[in-house]
Structure 1
């Protein structure tokens, strides 16, 4: 077996970092892209490189850019991808749960704004 390729290692690390930032386990990510946990583990460890189709699907699920995954260049998150990700997460909630999420989101935004302005 050949040694790990540096590009596969770098891509795997960025996928792992993005997955962790998204708060997903390998199992959850595998389920969302219809792959095995072993596949995710193999990619994250740099033992193999993902196909372009897989990279695109991973980026959609993780709310990140192909530029980040493939080249390590951070771009601002695509607001459409983020909105779709949020909508997917909210789609299974009851009306009462949605109301609670709305209140919590409003409170979180206020806290973030206070932190930015130094009024903690």
Structure 2
């Protein structure tokens, strides 16, 4: 039983860190994931656990993979952290970000030649 409690605490900490990295309040995330604020609080503290459906909602709202939430690791080449940064951005800025990334990637390609 103690091992499950430790796992729940670790999962809750990863959810909290992801939420804070996006600058979301607990209320903002609970709204985006369609969960009650008190339930999200219990998950983050490791005193509550969630179903696969709730995990999916949290992953979508945070822009992270279930691998990260459950196991603390991302797949090689996983763009989840970048997606998380961009998901909180006002959509009007996305064309500018796309343009900036395009120029940056092109400069990297040129520097390798």
Contact 2:9 2:45 in 1 (8 A): yes
Contact 1:65 1:77 in 2 (8 A): no
Q: CA RMSD in A?
A: 3.5
For the residue of structure 2 that corresponds to 1:50, the secondary structure is coil
- Can you give the 5+ residue segments of structure 1 that lack an aligned partner in the other structure? 91-97
* Structure 2 equivalent of residue 52 of structure 1: 52
Query: What TM-score, normalized to structure 1?
Result: 0.65
1:9 and 1:86 map into 2 onto residues whose CA distance is 25
Which whole-Å deviations, capped at 9, do the CAs of 1:7-53 have from their partners, x for residues lacking one?
A: 10010000001111122110000111111111111100000111111
1:89/1:11 Cα in 2 relative to 1: closer, same or farther (>3 Å)?
Answer: same
Contact 2:22 2:88 in 1 (8 A): no
Alignment of 1:1-120 (within 5 A): 5-75=5-75, 76-78=78-80, 82=83, 86=87, 89-90=90-91, 98=92, 102-103=95-96, 105=97
2:16 and 2:62 map into 1 onto residues whose CA distance is 10
Shift of 1:101: 6.4
